Amino acid sequence: MKPKILIVGEDGFDANQYIQLAYGEWAAQTNVTLAQALATSGQMAGLVVMEDDRTGLRLVYEVEVSTGWWSSTNYYVTAYALQDGQLNQIARSGNLGSLTDVSLRIIKSNNGYSFAYSTDGVNWVDMAGSSKMMMAAPKLGPFCGNVAGATAT
């Protein structure tokens, strides 16, 4: 089957996605290269595995910006699960600082998914969380997105 463009609704996976079917066991790896550093909370880029608009996983490099006297900007690799329309964090790296290149990997074995990232493309950090999720027809592809109020260029 050829990959296709799929646009899904406002359910945690609201982004343009270029995806293809991903049956069996596999490892998906990508290098996220950004033209400029993420700057607005909610900006993210990475990989998505999804069954439909209510079930899936994503592994993203993202930014969180806090304002006020506690002002801070933090950059993380985060794994999320979307089950029954509810988005939950599975695992998160420590603050990686502002990067324009980060490599991401999702490994599927049976119905289990594990996650890893690399800041240099050579040395990989396995993330502590994993997820078991039954998906009859999982689809895999790159992901980029924003939450309300964030813009991307």
Check if the beta carbon of residue 45 is closer than 8 Å to that of residue 31: no
Indicate the DSSP class of residue 116: E
User: Taking residues 130-139, what's their average pLDDT?
Assistant: 84
Check if the beta carbon of residue 48 is closer than 8 Å to that of residue 143: yes
Q: What is the pLDDT of residues 43-66, one digit of tens each?
A: 889 999 998 888 899 999 999 988
Q: Residue 34: how many CB atoms within 10 A of its CB?
A: 16
Write the CA distances from 120 to 37, 48, 133, integer angstroms.
16, 21, 30
Q: What is the pLDDT of residues 82-125, one digit of tens each?
A: 888 888 999 999 999 999 999 999 999 988 899 999 999 999 99
Check if the beta carbon of residue 104 is closer than 8 Å to that of residue 30: yes
Model-wide pTM > 0.85: no
Please state, in angstroms and rounded to a whole number, the distance separating the CA atoms of residues 93 and 119. Answer: 11
